[in-house]
Amino acid sequence: MGRRALWRDAIWFGTIVAVTGQWIIAHAMNLPLEPPWTVLLPGLGIFGAAFLLSWGAELAELELSQSLALAFLALMAVLPEYAVDMYLAWTAAKDPSYIQYAAANMTGANRILIGFGWPVLLLCYWLKSRQRSIQLHAEQRVELRALVLATLYAFTIPLKGTFSLLDTVVLVGLFIAYLIHSSKAEHVTPEFHGPPARIAVFPKTLRRLATLALFLLPGYTIFIAAEPFADGLLHSARHLGIEEFVLIQWLAPLASESPEFIVAILFALRSKPGEGFGALVSSKVNQWTLLIGMLPLVYAISGGRLVPMPLDARQTEEVLLTVAQSLLAVVMLANWRFGVWEAVLLLSLFGSQLALTAPRIRMAYAVAYLCISAAYLMHPAYRRSFINLLTMGWRGRQGRSNGLEQGHART
């Protein structure tokens, strides 16, 4: 059995490397591709890269805290989203019509992550184990606190109607604080299965080099595959007569978010839902701090002037709706548990608003998110746990949150 398992893991590892590497080769050779290969080949590259990233994140837990390992995993997985939005912000300084696209891409990516990614992860875990909730780890307090603080600050953006360099200072500073505190989180020795279990027994230097390669190789693949994959999808969708704004807000982010979705689902299917959900929460922190903070900086550098990026009425409404959704999400997570009914609520609110794009509808959904958040906070257990996230610091004691979880279990 041991030799058979070794061969199985070796074949599985080789297959994933080949699936990932085929796009690196095709890109390096500048091969002329026609549909459907313009979507299929980079898509396969992204799919393979997601597997390699998940293995790298598991192995990184031997060297780093789980929170920091997941933070790096999330940062690598959202590289396509950064590439697309930075390009749009850079171009917006020269062509103001692109401002709406930069804002649309950012808001779409954030709402897809919470409204679609989180519920689908729980659904996959339920299909695998029949468990109706995901319990968050104590180490994930760092992510939750960063997400709460970033969400509360983000309410200032629709109030002032701009992305400004003040946002850059506050949100990028919060991201740096998040990384620093993630590095100080408790170190837990993980359990390995499949190819990571084989690499974990390598000599330390070789193992570290292999772990580094499992971040760099898929990270590079994602970076070079994101644009052709998104362009291929956009080109196909335009033939269907879909509005350009809608393509930028929903289709492009869905394509660029696919690596992190795949990574998280792989964790869930390997009975590691906490790690999978932690990767998505960390991705949300990345996008809600570093991504937003970089937009006005890139805009200012491209334009050669220290001016904020203006938002029109529609973009302001989109940002407010995104902030309201984020508030509901962090209130739900304040009791350290994400349940099936919460997943259904987030998915229903997100899915139903896709077909309703009128300004009044967007504001109605924003108000709905805020009202539901207020209803959650009226419950003593949720209110206490949310206040604890704000007041107990980055590394509060898990023992105090256990009572909150028990309170949730009684609801």
Q: Is residue 282 part of a domain?
A: yes
Q: How many Cα atoms occupy the beta-carbon half-sphere of 271 within 13 Å?
A: 6
Task: Give the chain's domain count.
Answer: 1
Q: Is residue 192 part of a domain?
A: yes
Q: Is residue 355 part of a domain?
A: no
Are 236 and 53 spatial neighbours (Cβ–Cβ below 8 Å)?
A: no
Q: Which letter does DSSP use for residue 309 in this model?
A: E
Residue listed under structure tokens 């989109």: 318
Q: Which letter does DSSP use for residue 113 in this model?
A: I
Question: Which residues fall within 8 angstroms of residue 246, CB to CB, at 6 or more apart?
Answer: 357
Return the H-helix or E-strand segment holding 51. Answer: helix 37-60
Query: 85-121, pLDDT tens digit by residue?
Result: 888 888 888 888 888 888 888 999 899 999 999 999 9
* Residue 283: per-residue pLDDT: 85
Q: Is residue 331 part of a domain?
A: no
Q: Which domain holds residue 60?
A: 2-312
Distance of alpha carbon 409 from alpha carbon 411, whole angstroms: 6
Structure-derived torsion over alpha carbons of residues 266, 274, 351, 159, reported in degrees to the nearest 10: -130
Q: Is residue 88 part of a domain?
A: yes
Q: Is residue 347 part of a domain?
A: no
For residue 338, what are the CA distances in angstroms to 31, 62, 132, 241, 330?
45, 27, 9, 38, 10
Are 318 and 362 spatial neighbours (Cβ–Cβ below 8 Å)?
A: yes
Are 132 and 126 spatial neighbours (Cβ–Cβ below 8 Å)?
A: yes
* Residue 319: per-residue pLDDT: 94
Q: Is residue 246 part of a domain?
A: yes
Question: Which residues fall within 8 angstroms of residue 48, CB to CB, at 6 or more apart?
Answer: 16, 17, 18, 19, 20, 21, 218, 221
Distance of alpha carbon 178 from alpha carbon 172, whole angstroms: 10
Listed in order, strand segments (DSSP E) in 25-127 are none
Return the H-helix or E-strand segment holding 337. Answer: strand 337-339
Q: Is residue 47 part of a domain?
A: yes
Q: What single string gives the DSSP state of each residue in 222-275?
A: HHHHHHHHHHHHHHHHHTTT--HHHIIIIIHHHHHHHHHHHHHHHHHHTT-HHH
* Residue 256: per-residue pLDDT: 67
- Read off the tokens for 46: 């992204």
Are 77 and 46 spatial neighbours (Cβ–Cβ below 8 Å)?
A: no
User: CA angle, 137 as apex, 12 and 142 as ends, to 5°?
Assistant: 105
Are 290 and 171 spatial neighbours (Cβ–Cβ below 8 Å)?
A: yes
- Read off the tokens for 314: 């529609």
Distance of alpha carbon 384 from alpha carbon 388, whole angstroms: 6
* Residue 389: per-residue pLDDT: 81
* Residue 181: per-residue pLDDT: 82
**pLDDT tens-digit profile, the chain (411 residues):** 478 888 888 999 999 999 999 999 999 999 888 877 887 898 888 888 878 887 887 788 787 766 677 777 667 666 667 777 888 888 888 888 888 888 888 999 899 999 999 999 999 999 888 899 998 877 778 888 899 999 999 999 999 999 999 999 999 999 998 888 877 766 566 667 788 888 988 999 999 999 999 989 988 998 888 778 767 766 766 676 776 677 778 877 776 677 678 778 878 887 888 888 988 888 899 889 988 999 999 999 998 888 899 998 888 999 999 999 999 999 999 888 899 999 999 999 999 987 776 777 888 999 999 999 999 999 998 899 888 888 766 655 443 444 344 444 433
130: left (phi over 0), alpha (psi -120 to 50) or beta: left
For residue 36, what are the CA distances in angstroms to 7, 23, 200?
33, 14, 38
- How many helices (H) and strands (E) would you count in the chain? 20, 4
